[in-house]
Structure 1
């Protein structure tokens, strides 16, 4: 087994590879190939995801501090990872966790995101050949000693059935919310637009619902994000969703506001369709705190400057750090105890 120092160094060098101008053409090939296989993976979104991985996950000092929190496992185990594919390279943190912890990674990528995960892990082996025997791409995970699986609420039931006899982390659907007070400035509202719309709103860290004071006017929010219109209007998959959801609203006479690429409607549901943002009003912030406490298991993160525990600043939803574990389950603790 590679030493922890060599494992960390390999990932640090992977981060340098991603950001180095010398490797720009190679990375651009990854970006183009990913787009050719999945039209949601625009060059802008794939590039943004890769840069976030390099800056948030692969800095040497951060990796060392993160890994130092956890003991080495008694012996390497085979950990099967079923990855999601909703946003580019979304399964990378799980792969990083398994490999830095010293285990063997059996990876089953999503059919929506095979290109980036394969490219990143193959490049990791190029950088550190000692990882060659620690990474295996598989169609079936029968040989795994433990499992990490991410999917919908429906697939989670399947995972629970098949993986129940071995240690596992099984993740379900989650989404994120924002809390507005009405005092936000344009820059904060523009950043909220990023939280809502980045990666077309497909991630569990994307804001799909906002809590606003009674009588809130969304005009200032729309003005702050209007410059984003061309990006969304020119992506046919997104715009098809927008036109479909708009027609449903019109046919069913659902009250809503619309700026030409994002519709906002009052709805108690946490999860909104693509191109739609739900809102709910409040008179007292304690009402919001109580409402969020009831749906804690469904909320990935909370955005806003309001007095809410662990709330993230506007614009930071898609910038998780190494310690920001999906569903609040510490993956590294799980792996260190195998």
Structure 2
């Protein structure tokens, strides 16, 4: 565990004072021009969350739960990273390195600048991040693969990697279940679950489950004060205007806040600029719907006693133990190292 902790501390050290590090400042600016969804505030939010989750105490608490390999292996792990949120695929790189794999990472075309810089900065502190990770354009001769993409690309990945152990992730979304007793603080926190990263992440809430007769007024009044800035982002506004125009042309009933289209629909998924809602009459009915959504569901947010429900505002506050899709990739890779 000694070398693993040293490696993780190097990642943490590489993020210390990133706000004033000229390499990071330049990379954040370049990332924004490369991907207009990556505004400085969103990138800062991601980097600060990574820095917080990689504190020495949290590293110790995380690693303590595993029997990590003592040696570095020769097995080759290929990773296809997502790019919808800044550095969203970096957790796979981390678990690959600390389990002793030689990691070959294919970054998303939407997020290539930030992962490369983080690896470069961390390698100045611990060379493992340059010696055991290679950013590549093509993945060849792999022993294990982890790939993240859309529902369509997931089918291709499953076929492409069928001869080796693989983990394929596809589209997921998140839900919030409200009771009607939420406070202003809850509304603000829920707004972050909905609007952070412009709603592009699988952990963003895209559906509200509401008690019958729910009054939207307090919620929207709160969001008007705290989140209407989002209408000024060009790409977000384009999505909002597009879906608004379709609904108006089709005379399709909906609620328009001026920056968000809110529509009664049973689907969990809602595109950027939209939020679905449905009504429930019992907690048992809520649970039944959540079970039906199954593998399409990433996070559940509620004050109700629902299994694995999170508090409002916490969906984007990920920690090292928050594994995508609920699968412990660290333990999975440890077992593969033994085989």
Q: Is 1:60 aligned with 2:75?
A: no
Contact 1:9 1:60 (8 Å CA) reproduced:
no
Structure 2 match to 1:51: 48
Structure 2 match to 1:28: 25
Task: Give the Cα–Cα distance (whole angstroms) in 2 for the partners of residues 287 and 33 of structure 1.
Answer: 47
Alignment partner for residue 14 of structure 2, among 17, 32, 35?
17
Task: Give the Cα–Cα distance (whole angstroms) in 2 for the partners of residues 116 and 140 of structure 1.
Answer: 19
Q: Is 1:39 aligned with 2:51?
A: no
Give the alignment of 1:1-338 within 5 angstroms: 4-20=1-17, 23-56=20-53, 58-73=54-69, 75-229=73-227, 231-338=229-336
Task: Give the Cα–Cα distance (whole angstroms) in 1 for the partners of residues 32 and 207 of structure 2.
Answer: 28
**Judging changes above 3 Å, is the alpha-carbon distance between structure 1 residues 67 and 256 closer, same or farther for their aligned structure 2 residues?**
same
- The alignment partner of 2:139 has SS state of coil
Unaligned runs of 5+ in 2: none
Task: Give the Cα–Cα distance (whole angstroms) in 1 for the partners of residues 57 and 14 of structure 2.
Answer: 17
Task: Give the Cα–Cα distance (whole angstroms) in 2 for the partners of residues 9 and 133 of structure 1.
Answer: 14
TM-aligned CA deviation for residue 255 of structure 1: 1.3
Contact 1:67 1:100 (8 Å CA) reproduced:
no
Deviations 1:300-334 (A, max 9, x none): 01011111011000000001211111111110011
Contact 1:17 1:23 (8 Å CA) reproduced:
no
Q: How many residues align?
A: 334
Unaligned runs of 5+ in 1: none
- The alignment partner of 1:337 has SS state of helix
TM-aligned CA deviation for residue 16 of structure 1: 3.1
TM-aligned CA deviation for residue 63 of structure 1: 1.5
Q: Once superposed, which parts of structure 1, at least 4 consecutive aligned residues long, lie more than 4 Å away?
A: none
TM-score normalized by the length of structure 2: 0.95
Alignment root-mean-square deviation, CA? 1.5
- The alignment partner of 2:21 has SS state of helix
